[in-house]
Structure 1
Amino acid sequence: MNEPRVHRDPAFALLELYDAALPEVYGYLLARCGDRVVAEELTSETFLGAVRTCRKAGAGPVSVPWLIGVARHKLADHWRRRAREERGLRLVHDEQPETVDPWDAELDVLRAREVLASLGAHHQAALSLRYLDGLPVPEVAEHLGRTVHATEALLVRARAAFRRAYEEGEQ
């Protein structure tokens, strides 16, 4: 008579990593969105999504960098949802791209975070993925579900909006 075999749930590997990973994931998200409630919600979504992924056949090993990658996707999803909601509430006036000097200005970090938080979700997403996470434009485009050319234009507009808002705050 064959005895039933009990297989260990692959999500237990995530449970073993949870205590060490939680502050890393939460800190990553809070630094990028600046809102504790949103960071908490996205952290929760990150771990729930990670559990679902761990349970799929052929799932790779679980690590903190892998969880940060999941968090990055959850944050991009959040910004996309927020951008859709903003578009639904108001007519978006799309500016003409302007020639912008390189992104090399020295910025006050706290002021820069305030300005970034004041921008629209699509601008926040593009600037955060490109400059905070250091992703190349093609990867930013992939995260945002846009073409590379559309992402480059979005980055030009986002930098211009950031610069305007930053300079208005200095006066």
Structure 2
Amino acid sequence: MRPDPAFALLEIYAEALPQVYGYLRARCGNTVLAEDLTSATFLGAVDTARRGAVAVSVSWLIGIARHKLADHWRSVEREERGLRLVYQAREETAAAPSEQLEVLVARQVLAELGAHHRAALTLRYLDGLPVPEVAAHLDRTVHATEALLVRARAAFRKAYQRRGGQDD
């Protein structure tokens, strides 16, 4: 039986560990991250050693550590890029102050309506349910729900205009 090639790492582990950790700690400035990357380096080294004949050395391990650190930085950059895109999209879709005021007025008007009108409008327009599902939730027929929605929209429009809202 052939010995596991990864055992060669055990022979230099005591010497290599402080050097690999020191290399990573000096470059990332974060103890926890350096520890994580050090363990990833040794796990990667074991995997690589088992796949083929390599000259196991401290410099070889430092090379693996360099790659692990670069992988980490790329991952962080991808994540930050994604967050920037989400933030930019959020800023672009943020409502103007006048639109925010309209939303507040609309919510107040909705709160003033009767419960049956509020429920029908909320289910249909805020939750986006089709009329048959609204009818099922309200335990009404589809035709009765359509009539309720007509009356609820009219009541909402009247109350909204009384408050000075735009009728768009």
Question: TM-score w.r.t. structure 1 length?
Answer: 0.49
Greater relative contact order structure (CA < 8 Å, 6+ sep): 1
TM-score (norm 2): 0.50
Larger radius of gyration: 2
Name the structure with the higher helix share. Answer: 2
